[in-house]
Homo-oligomer: A and B are copies of this chain.
């Protein structure tokens, strides 16, 4: 039986809708007050695990799930050893550099040498500033990254931006985009190669639903 790791939060509804379209019903996860973390679909053909967005790739990498749905931002940050198969199109957002609107900086290259950048995405931020050859100190934060520039702890942040409302509410503006992100279908590489439990067919059905090429 195939196991699919599904992400809690913003990507869950669309992930479940997509799997329903290929005949797998995990909508019990969406019921108010749901406390289950693993369920089997009513036709008894697949199982789903409900995990944190940032844990999906761990379950797939270790083979505890053969398939998973996860944001490209998380894949980039964790550089997990998983097969990235289909760009699912939903969950659009971008990884951006933002600064205080009142600051003089209007591009990453204008940031001061050895300045500070707060981010939940430490690896993405590090790789980006290294590619610019701009030495900065990355400050790892887990929440409310926008407090970095507001309190003066950092000149900039690297964070996910969807609507831009959080930035605006906090007096910040985007000055550069590192990359665009969407939800991706990932698979355990060996299971996919060996076509365990009809995995290949399942992926093809999802690919047809999405009917668009893999983007990276």
Residues in A lying within 8 Å of B, measured CB to CB: 8, 37-38, 49-52, 54-55, 58-59, 62, 64, 139-144, 147, 150-153
The binding surface of chain A is classed by DSSP as mixed
Choose from B54, B64, B141 the contact partner of A58 (Cβ within 8 Å). B141
Q: Which residues of B contact A8 (CB under 8 A)?
A: 143
List the number of copies, as a whole number.
Answer: 2
Question: Closest CB-CB distance, A78 to chain B, in whole Å?
Answer: 9
B58 in contact with A143 (CB, 8 Å): no
Q: Which residues of B contact A59 (CB under 8 A)?
A: 151, 153
Given contacts A62-B139, A139-B58, A139-B62, contact A52 B151 (CB under 8 A): no
B153 in contact with A62 (CB, 8 Å): yes
The 3 lowest CB-CB distance pairs between A and B, nearest first, are A52-B143, A64-B153, A52-B142
